[in-house]
Amino acid sequence: MAVLMVLEFLLPRPPRALTNSLDHDDFLAAMAPGPLMILPKEKDYFDIRGSFEAHSRLKKLYGLLGAEENIALKAGPTPHGFTQENRESIYRWFNQSTAIEAADETTPVFTVDVRGVGESLRGTTRSMPLSYYGPDYLYTAYSNMLGYDEIHLVGKGWGTVPATFAALLSPAVKQVTLKNALLSYEDIATTEQYGWPNSIFLPGVLKSFDLPDCYKAASVEATGSDRTLRAD
């Protein structure tokens, strides 16, 4: 089945998007012919005309692909946000696109905040989470380094695990220096008390691999708790 996408707001602008004359509908076009709903707001501080223009162009593309029924736009009458009319539109769209009937009162329904949003959004700056120079702005700024093809990451303590995975998964990471790294998930599994957060654990990870396997795959040079990792 095609990936189901629902957009409440305009997508963030990747590096050099304007230089390459790319607009939001260019990125949304990559999702075609999968189900896509755009949810603008009439009283938003973003001009709603841009959403209608993007929808019009995308509808032509979906028509050429024989999937015009997979593109939709539902404008809410309220200011910026994810209000009831948006949510109800999404539920109907999910049901339509997945052929799943609406749940009855006996069916439990859960909504989940993806890590890094909602209550799990980190307060790493003094600004409000979504304000200028808040955590969301800060993390987006960090992502700009993905435009570079040679990156040296430095991870300490809790940051060593995501740094290790980044070295394995991204060819742009050429070197990672780890300080006070976790030696293995097995150490955690066999220790009653430890100082590592749940966010660094992968469910069922020891059924497939452990951190020493990652260090070896990335050509780790280690001495004590200080590790210098190179991704060849």
Give the pLDDT confidence of 82-104 residue by residue, as tens digits: 888 888 888 888 888 877 666 56
Q: Is the pTM of this model over 0.75?
A: no
Rg (Cα) of the chain, in Å, rounded? 22
> For residue 80, what are the contacts with CB-CB under 8 A and spacing of at least 6?
9, 41, 43, 44, 45, 46
8 Å CB contact between 186 and 206: yes
* Mean pLDDT value of segment 144-161: 76
pLDDT for 111: 58
pLDDT tens-place string over residues 29-81: 888 898 999 988 888 888 889 899 999 999 999 999 999 999 999 988 888 88
- The rounded distance, in Å, linking the Cα atoms of 217 and 168 is 8
Lowest mean pLDDT among 2-11, 16-25, 204-213: 2-11
Mean pLDDT value across the chain: 76
The set of long-range contacts for 65-70, using a CB threshold of 8 Å and a minimum separation of 24, is 65/32, 65/33, 66/33, 67/32, 67/33, 70/2, 70/32, 70/33, 70/34, 70/35, 70/36, 70/97
Q: What b/e sequence results for 96-134 when a residue is b if at least 16 CB atoms lie within 10 Å of its CB, and e otherwise?
A: ebeeeeeeeeeeeeeeeeeeeeeeebeeeeeeebeeeeb
CA distance 125 to 170: 27
What distance lies between CA 24 and its chain's CA centroid?
17
What is the structure's pLDDT at 45? 85
Asked if pLDDT for residue 156 goes beyond 70, the answer is yes
The model's pLDDT over 215-225, given as tens digits with 9 standing for 90+, comes to 888 776 543 44
Q: Which two tokens stand for residue 71?
A: 């593109």
Q: Higher confidence at residue 134 or residue 47?
A: 47
- Tokens coding 42: 């009439």
